[in-house]
């Protein structure tokens, strides 16, 4: 397993070891003893899978005050996956990291608690899987605008489909102005 620290402290790009032969391939998506060495949690509360067509953008989502850390990967197709630091007291507040995850490259991204997350489907369709450190609580679900100019994510394509929730999401500045307590802090994640 190859683990790379990204430009955002705590966000990790993980390349699992793939074992292949004429029959196909095998890899471990998660192994507690291996991931313990990385500082990832030793348990997850929920596993999710989404399936989307090209141009669908999901995000930028976060949950507060019950933040979720997420270990994510793609099992079909490819996506551009993004993490944004929304911890209001962080030195990297408002900064983003993005990478392509695909069924071919087998990469995983670890997004710690205190970060917003989103992805854009780049292939005809994509199946996206994530392990979450906490269960989903609809009353704590929130979004940041995918096209927030202050964050300035360089999406490789324009999305063609967004949920109504994502269309109506506030900018990070608007969330801060409304109620900064709606955002995590480094010490609380």
Instruction: State the catalytic residues.
Output: 61, 130
Distance (Å, whole) CA 155 – CA 96? 11
Cβ atoms of residues 11 and 83 within 8 Å: yes
CA-angle at 118, arms to 131 and 31, nearest 5°: 20
CA separation (Å) from 107 to 79, 82, 85, 100?
Answer: 11, 13, 20, 8
CA dihedral 13, 33, 134, 114 (to 10 degrees): -40
């Amino acid at each position: 397993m190859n683990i790379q620290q990204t430009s955002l402290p705590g966000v990790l790009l993980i390349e699992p070891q793939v074992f292949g032969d004429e029959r196909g391939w095998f890899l471990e998506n998660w192994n507690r003893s291996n991931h313990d060495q990385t500082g990832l949690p030793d348990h997850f509360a929920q596993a999710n899978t989404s399936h989307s067509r090209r141009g669908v953008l999901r995000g930028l989502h976060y949950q507060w005050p019950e933040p979720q850390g997420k270990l994510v990967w793609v099992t079909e197709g490819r996506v551009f996956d993004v993490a944004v630091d929304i911890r209001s007291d962080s030195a990297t507040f408002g900064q983003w990291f993005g990478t392509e995850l695909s069924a071919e490259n087998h990469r995983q991204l670890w997004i710690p608690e205190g970060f917003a997350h989103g992805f854009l489907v780049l292939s005809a369709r994509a199946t996206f899987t994530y392990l979450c450190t906490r269960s989903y609580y609809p009353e704590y679900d929130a979004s940041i605008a995918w096209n927030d100019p202050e964050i300035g994510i360089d999406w490789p394509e324009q999305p063609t489909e967004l949920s109504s929730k994502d269309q109506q999401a506030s900018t990070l500045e608007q969330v801060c102005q409304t109620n900064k307590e709606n955002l995590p802090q480094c010490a609380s994640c």
